[in-house]
Structure 1
C-alpha cells in the first residue's frame, strides 16, 4: 500500500512539473518572440543514393552474361562478361570489358552452397570480381577439421571457389568517429540520421542491445542517448535516439581527428576498386580500397551478410564509425581481422540498406548561400569515364569542416539568461524542471551506477 501511494505521488508530481514547464516555456517564448533567432546551420536530408557507374550495364545484360564490375586504375569501370557480344555492348557504353569463365549466376550458386553448409565461426567469403572466384577465408580460430571439410565442399564447385587462410581472427570491433560508451562497451558514432522530427545516431548493431544507454565520457556525466532499434546478427546496424531529440550543429559532419571533420553531402553504394576512407575513435582517419561487395562473415556472435569488404584497417573501439568517400556516406564499421600496424581486412554495414530498413534519412550538408563555395555533390570530382565514383588515385574524403558543437546551445543559453527577455517565465521553467528531474533521477541513477561500475577501472 505504501509503495502504491509513492507511485501515485510520483505520477502527480511528474504531471504537475510537465504542466509548469509548458506554461513557463510559453511565457519565455512570448518574451523573446520579438528577437530574431540566430540562423541555424544549413543542413538537409538525403533524397536518394548514387550507385556504381556500371550498374545500368549489369542490370541490362543480366547475371547470366555478367560477373560483376570494378573501378580500374584509370578510373574507368570494368565489367566482367561471359561472351564477346556482351563485351562489345560494354565497350560501346564507354566501359572496359573482361571476358571471364563464370557468370554471376554461377558465383551466386557457390555462395548459396556455402551458406547452406554447417556454420563455421571464423570464416568469411565474398566474390572477387577480378579473379572471377568466390574467396573463402578462414582465420586462426578455424580448426583443421573444419577447414578440411570446407575445402572438400569447394573442390566440388567447378573452380568457382578459392580457399585462403587469414591472419588473426575475424571479430567485431567493439570496444563516428567520436567515441560513445556504455556498459556494453566502447564504439564510435557513425552518421546522423533523422525522421524529420527527431535525430538519431546510426552505428553498429553489435555495439549494444536495445535499451543501452550511451555517454560521451567515462564518468557517465554526459548522456548521449539510448539505443532504440537494431539488427545483429544478420545485419549490423543500430539506432541511438539523442537524449534531447536533436543532433545539434555540425550534424552533417563526421570527425576525422585534430578538431577537423568532413562534410557529408549524400549517400550511396560503393564500387569494387573505389578508394574509401574510415574514421574511428581509436585509430582516426584511415584509407584503402573496396575489395568486394555482399560479403558474409561468421563472427563468434553470429553470421552477418551483405557487407562491404575493404583493405582499410580498424581496431577495437572503431566499431560503428563512418565509411565515406568524396563526402558520400557508404557504411558503418562492423568488424574484421588485423590491425593498423600490420594491416588487415575490415567489413562495413552498407548505409543504404540500414536506412531503408529503418525508414530514415541521412542528414547531409545543404547547399550554401550565394557567394559561398558550393559543396561537392555525388557527381562532383569524378574520374573520367566513371561518373559517380572517383578515380582510385585521386579520391579524397570530401570537403573539410571544423568539428565544433554547442554553438546553438550557447547562443540560446545567453538569451535565456537575460532577465529582460524571460521575466517570470524562467522562474516557472526552473521550478518545473527541478520537480521533473527529481522524478526521473531514481530511474536514471540505476543506469548510471551500472555504467560507473563497468568503467570504474578507467577513472583517474
Structure 2
C-alpha cells in the first residue's frame, strides 16, 4: 500500500481509533531493553523472562510439543514468565516445558475435562446473560451471570455449575448486562430504517482480492450493509462478509474506492499512532489496549480465552444469540465501541470489541473477537507493517500507557445495544476524549 498521506475523509476512517484524547501524554520510549536482554539466553533450563508476545509464541510451541499434557497457560506480568499447566506427572514432560523456558505448574483438570465442562454448560445453562471461559490461573471454567439472570434461570445456571463440582467450575455475578456494544478506533455510521447505527473501525486489512478493507464487529455488519465515516455522509464502505452470532463476531467491510489508502495502524489520539505489524493470539494475563469511538483508549488484562457469551437476542424476545471463541478481558467498553481495536503496545492486532457489561467508570467484563480467527475466516491480511507511519506526519511507535486507564471494580449497565438505534454521539470522528488516566505502570514488560 502507498505511504502517501490520505485525503482528509479517507484518513479519518482508515485508522482503528478515535482522534483526540485531550491533553494525554505518551511515553514514547518502551521499556523493553532489559527484558529483551534477559530473554535472549536460552541455554539454561528454567523460566525465562519474556515479553507477552514472546510468551504467546512459546505457548503455541508448547501446545504442539506437549499435546494433551498441557492444560492451558498464562502470562505472569509480575515475573514476566509464561506459566504452563501440566496434568501429567511425567517428569520428561515437565523437563521439556522447563527447558523451553516456561514455568511449570501441575494441575488437576485437563483441557479435555475443561472442554467437557463447557459442553455441559452449553447444553444445560445457555440462557441470555451468561458467559463462560477457561481461566488457566485457577484451572477452572469461570461462569458469569449478569443482572438479568434471576429466578428459575439463576437456579438453572447455579445447579449446573454445582453439578460440575467446585474443583471444575465457579459462578460469579455481574452487576451489568451483557450486550453487543453497538451505538458507536474511528466512528463509523450507517443509516437504517429505525435510525443510525454506530460502531467503531477495528483494523485496516487487505481483502483476498487485493482491495482495501477493514474489520469490525459482526453484529455491526449484520445490522447494516453500507457504512460512512460521518453520521450524515455518503457510504464509503460496504459489508462483504459478516458472522454473528455463532462462531464469532466479525465483519469484513470493503472500501468502495479501490484507491483508498488504509494504513495499518491504530490512531491512539493526540496525533499519535501505533503501527500494527502482526496479528497476535491473546495470552491470559497480558496487558492489552482497546480503542473505541465512544470512550477512547483504555487498557486492562486478558482474563480468559475461548469464551462463550449468550446475549439476549435482538430479534427474538425469547431467543439467545450465542457467540463462541471470544477473548474475555477486564478492559472497559461502552455502547458504540463495538468493532474497535484491541491491540498490544508493540503493534500486535489482538481483537475486535464484541460486547460485555459495565462501563468506563466502574469497569466490567468485555469480550473480543480474536483477529487471527477473523483473518483466517475472511481470507484478509493485515496491512504492510504500519503503512503511513514515518511519513513525516505520523508519530509512530507511540506508547499508549500514559493515557489508558486500568479497569477494575463493579459493573454498570451500558445504555445502548444493537437494537438501540436512537442516534449517534454527535462528536463523531475524532471528537471524543479519553477517560482513563491510569499511570500505565502495569504495562512494562507486557508489550
Change (3 A) 1:74 1:118: closer
Which of 298, 301, 321 is matched with 2:310 structurally?
298
Report the counterpart of residue 379 of structure 1 in structure 2: none
Which of 216, 230, 237 is matched with 1:217 structurally?
230
Aligned pairs (5 A) from 1:255-294: 255-294=267-306
CA deviation string 1:124-172 (max 9, x = no partner)? 0000101111011100001221121122222222431111111210111
Change (3 A) 1:310 1:246: farther
Contact 2:183–2:336 (CA under 8 A) maintained in structure 1: yes
Report the counterpart of residue 156 of structure 2 in structure 1: 149
Aligned partners of 1:271 and 1:364: how far apart in 2?
24
Aligned partners of 2:269 and 2:250: how far apart in 1?
23
Change (3 A) 1:163 1:223: same
Contact 1:266–1:364 (CA under 8 A) maintained in structure 2: no
Query: Matched residue pairs, number?
Result: 342
Aligned partners of 1:157 and 1:125: how far apart in 2?
13
Q: Which moved more, 1:196-205 or 1:358-367?
A: 358-367
Q: Rg: which structure is higher? A: 1
1:327 aligns with 2:347: yes
Contact 1:210–1:227 (CA under 8 A) maintained in structure 2: no
Which of 174, 177, 191 is matched with 1:183 structurally?
191
Residue 210 of structure 1, CA deviation: 7.3
CA deviation string 1:161-206 (max 9, x = no partner)? 1111112101111009100011351100111111353111110011
Aligned partners of 1:207 and 1:227: how far apart in 2?
9
Residue 458 of structure 1, CA deviation: 6.1
Aligned partners of 1:396 and 1:255: how far apart in 2?
12
Point out where structure 2 has 5 or more consecutive residues left out of the alignment.
Answer: 7-52, 314-320, 402-420, 428-447
Aligned partners of 2:191 and 2:224: how far apart in 1?
11
1:174 aligns with 2:182: yes
Aligned partners of 2:227 and 2:179: how far apart in 1?
22
**Matched residue SS, 1:183:** strand
**Matched residue SS, 1:341:** coil
Aligned partners of 1:166 and 1:239: how far apart in 2?
32
Change (3 A) 1:157 1:115: same
**More helix, by proportion:** 1
Aligned partners of 1:261 and 1:176: how far apart in 2?
21
Report the counterpart of residue 361 of structure 2 in structure 1: 341
Report the counterpart of residue 315 of structure 1 in structure 2: 334
Residue 39 of structure 1, CA deviation: 7.0
Normalization by structure 1: what TM-score? 0.68
Point out where structure 1 has 5 or more consecutive residues left out of the alignment.
Answer: 1-37, 43-48, 377-394, 399-452
Aligned partners of 1:188 and 1:295: how far apart in 2?
22
Report the counterpart of residue 450 of structure 1 in structure 2: none
Aligned pairs (5 A) from 1:36-75: 40=4, 51-63=56-68, 65-72=69-76, 73-75=78-80
**Matched residue SS, 2:331:** coil
Residue 341 of structure 1, CA deviation: 0.3
